[in-house]
Amino acid sequence: MSVRGRGLAHDIQARLRRPSSAVKRGRGQPRGPSQQRVRCLARRRGRPPGRLSWRSATHLHQEGTMGAKSEALAKQFEAKVQDAAAVMQKLSDVDWKKTTPGEKWTVGVVAHHVASSHEGIANIVKAVASGQAMPTFTVEMLDAMNHKHAQENANATKAHTLVLHQKNATAAAVAVRALSDDQLAKSATVLQGVPAMSVEQMITGILIGHVDEHVGSIRKTVGA
C-alpha cells in the first residue's frame, strides 16, 4: 500500500483508470495459442501430432491459454521487482540514510517497506481471489501500520532488505501465477473511500503500483 496518508485513495483511483500494460495485445497478435503450441501439448500427452479430435484440440487450447493473463501480470510484477533490486543494490551507505521528501522516511526504511509489503499485499490478493471476507482498511489504520514499521526497521541493512525483497517477491509472483481468470475478476472493497477493486486491479494498482511509487521516490531522493 502507499504510505502517503490521505492521498492513498486518490492514488489508487488514478491507477485504476490507467489501462494495464500487462495484458495489452499487439496489432495482429493471435488471440489463442498457435497450432505448434497445441501440438507440443499433444506430444506431452503421448499423442501423435495431427491426430487430434475436435474435443481434444479444444481442451488443449483451453489448457494452453489458461493462466495467460495471470502469467503476464506476474511477469510485469517481476520486472518491477528486478528494477527495484537493481536500484537498491546501487545505493551507497550515504544514500541509505537520506530522507525521502515524499514518505519522510530514510531511503533504507522505504526500501525495507517495499520488500516487506509484497507478502501482505499478496495475502490480500489471495484472500479476495478465494472469496474470503476482507476487513476494510482505513487510511488511519495504514498510517499507524506504516509508522510502526518505520520505527521497528529504522536500522534495517541493505543486505537484509535485498534478501527479504527477493523472498517476498518470489512468493507473491507464485501467488499471482496461480490465479485463474475467474479469480482475477473477483472483487472486494479493501480501502475505505475507494470503490471495490477486482483482483486484477489489486495486482496492477497495488502490488505493482506500490513498487513503482516507492522506487520512484528512492530514485528522486538519490538522483538515480
pLDDT at 6 over 50: no
pLDDT of residue 12: 54
- Of 64, 79, 76, 74, the closest CA to residue 33 belongs to 64
Q: What is the pLDDT of residues 59-90, one digit of tens each?
A: 444 444 458 999 999 999 999 999 999 999 99
Residue type, 176: V
For 27-59, the pLDDT digits (tens) are: 333 334 333 333 333 334 444 444 444 444 444
What is the Cα–Cα distance from 22 to 73, expressed in whole angstroms? Answer: 5
Placement of cell 534495517 in the chain? 156
Say what percent of the chain tops pLDDT 70: 71
Calpha distance 74→64 (Å, rounded) = 17
Domain check: are 97 and 197 in the same one? yes
- Our count of domains for the chain comes to 2
Q: How far is Cα 59 from Cα 65, in angstroms, rounded to an integer?
A: 10
> Is-above-0.85 flag for pTM?
no
Distance CA 180, CA 41 (A): 19
| Same domain as 60, residue 11 | no
Percent of the chain with pLDDT over 90: 65
Count CA atoms within 13 Å of residue 136 on its CB side. 12
CATH number at residue 203: 1.20.120.450
Q: What is the DSSP letter of 22?
A: G
Cα–Cα distances in Å, from 33 out to 18, 62, 119, 160, 211?
A: 27, 9, 32, 42, 31
Domain boundary among 66, 88, 116: 66
More confident residue, 56 or 134: 134
Residue with the bigger pLDDT between 120 and 17: it is 120
Write down the mean pLDDT value for the chain.
Answer: 81
Distance CA 104, CA 3 (A): 10
My answer on whether 84 and 192 are in the same domain is yes
The dihedrals phi and psi of 147, each to the nearest 5 degrees, come to: -65, -40
Cβ–Cβ < 8 Å for 111, 92: no
User: Is residue 75 within 8 Å of residue 207, measured between CB atoms?
Assistant: no
Residues 130 and 160 occupy one common structural domain: yes
Which of 66, 90, 117 is the last residue in one of the domains? 66
Give the domain extent around 37.
32-66
Q: Cα–Cα distance between 205 and 207 in angstroms, integer?
A: 6
What cell does 220 get?
A: 528522486
> Are residues 15 and 123 located together in one domain of the fold?
yes
Q: Please tell me whether residues 108 and 178 are part of one structural domain.
A: yes
The residue-averaged pLDDT of 130-141 equals 89
